[in-house]
Structure formats: C-alpha cells, structure tokens
Amino acid sequence: MSPFNAANAHASPITPQKYSKLIPFEQITGVILAGGRSTRMGGDDKGLMPFRGYPMAMHVLLRLAPQVGSVLISANQNLDTYHGLGHPVITDLISDAGPLGGIHAALKICNTDFLLTAPCDVPLLPTDLAERLGHALQGSSADAAVVATGPWLQPLFCLMRSSLRDPIESYLNDSGRKADGWHAHCNVIHVPFDDQPEAFANINTQDDLKQLESE
C-alpha cells in the first residue's frame, strides 16, 4: 500500500473550538488508535479505508489535531502510510494487547499532563471532545473522563491523566486486555454526549461504512 501524503488532502478545515480554560490544549497529547487487526473488515486496515475521499484516520486527524497540542498515531501495520499523515507513529510495546496496547505505548512517551484517545474509525469525531472531557475531568478528582452516549460507554474516547502510565502497564502485565476492565481499576467519570450520538457510530463492517457514507 502506497504512503498517503497529508499534504495532498483538501478536506474542509475544522475550526478550532473554544477550549476549556482549565486545560490548555498544549497540555494534551492526542493519540489515534489504529493498531487493530480489523478482522471484521476482512483484514483491511480500518484506519486507511476511504470515507468520502480520504482515509478514515485522516478525518479523525483533521478533527482531533486542533483540540490538542500534538498527535501520535498508534499503528502496527502499514507504518509508512501512516507516517504520510505527518505525525509520529508508535507501535505497541506489549503484544496482543488490543487498543490498550496503543494507549500504553502513547502514555510511555507522553510528555504532557493529559492524553486524549480516539479510535481511527470515527470520521465524525466531535470537535469539542477535548473541551467537554477536560472540563469534567478538571472539575473532579478523577483519573480519566470517558464518553457516554445514553446507557452506553465509549471507553476508547477517553481523556486521562498521564500518571496512569504505570497502572495501565501493571494491568497489561497481569493479562488484562479490556478497556472497561482497566477503567474499573481507575477513578473514571462518565461525560454524556447524548447530543452527538452519530459521532460515535460503530464501524465494524464494510456495510457499516457504506451506510455512514450515505447519510
């Protein structure tokens, strides 16, 4: 697969949001989680699948980047292609750890106070994600803030304190692999995004992707 050059993209720019006064965006590192195997996509790299003319990961990047000070991309295949998006690419340090492997690797090199995570298959990512999660997190004693839509939690949309790097490593070394299981070991608050449920559409198959494109 040939590298994708972000410089050639002409997608509509995303207007930066009015960030939370409590967490300057420079103190947040964003990570796009693109390290999965995409088995339900027939093995195709989900983050590189086209959505309205551009890879899904590119859409996520355009929406996430204005909300944070820097962006990392967690990937374990097609690394040259992901490098073409113009941001550092990191690989898992602990094998077969699922999305938590990417979060762990990002926390290990994160040099800001906070890490904001987002999957690569959410091209409609809210442009106020960091602001709303940050406002809730700073107004509490919690370790992390996670998106909730109705009764459902979205555990991979999470703003966390970078001090969680050691707890997540311990959880993974104890064979923990599920994000909600790890959250059970942390002080996590849930932040409602009931006004934007479409932004968290679950794209697991080609049909899911086609349906979202048609809406």
Let me know if residue 70 belongs to a domain: yes
Token pair, residue 156, equals 């991979």
Nearest to 111 by CA among 79, 141, 88: 88
Choose the weakest-confidence range: 17-21, 111-115, 209-213: 17-21
Q: What torsion, rounded to 10 degrees, do the Cα atoms 132, 138, 139, 142 define?
A: 100
Let me know if residue 8 belongs to a domain: no
CATH number of the domain that residue 179 is part of: 3.90.550.10
- Does the pLDDT at position 6 exceed 60? no
- Does the pLDDT at position 211 exceed 60? yes
Let me know if residue 3 belongs to a domain: no
Task: Note the pTM of the prediction, 2 decimals.
Answer: 0.89
Choose the weakest-confidence range: 29-38, 78-87, 102-111: 29-38
- Does the pLDDT at position 92 exceed 90? yes
Question: Number of folded domains in the chain?
Answer: 1
Let me know if residue 39 belongs to a domain: yes
Section 105-129 average pLDDT: 97
Let me know if residue 173 belongs to a domain: yes
Backbone φ and ψ of 159, nearest 5°: -105, 120
**Predicted local distance difference test score (pLDDT) of residue 212:** 86
Let me know if residue 9 belongs to a domain: no
CA 172 to chain CA centroid, Å, is 19
Let me know if residue 45 belongs to a domain: yes
Give residue 72's domain range.
21-214
As beta bridge partners, residue 31 has 72, 117
Let me know if residue 54 belongs to a domain: yes
- Does the pLDDT at position 215 exceed 90? no
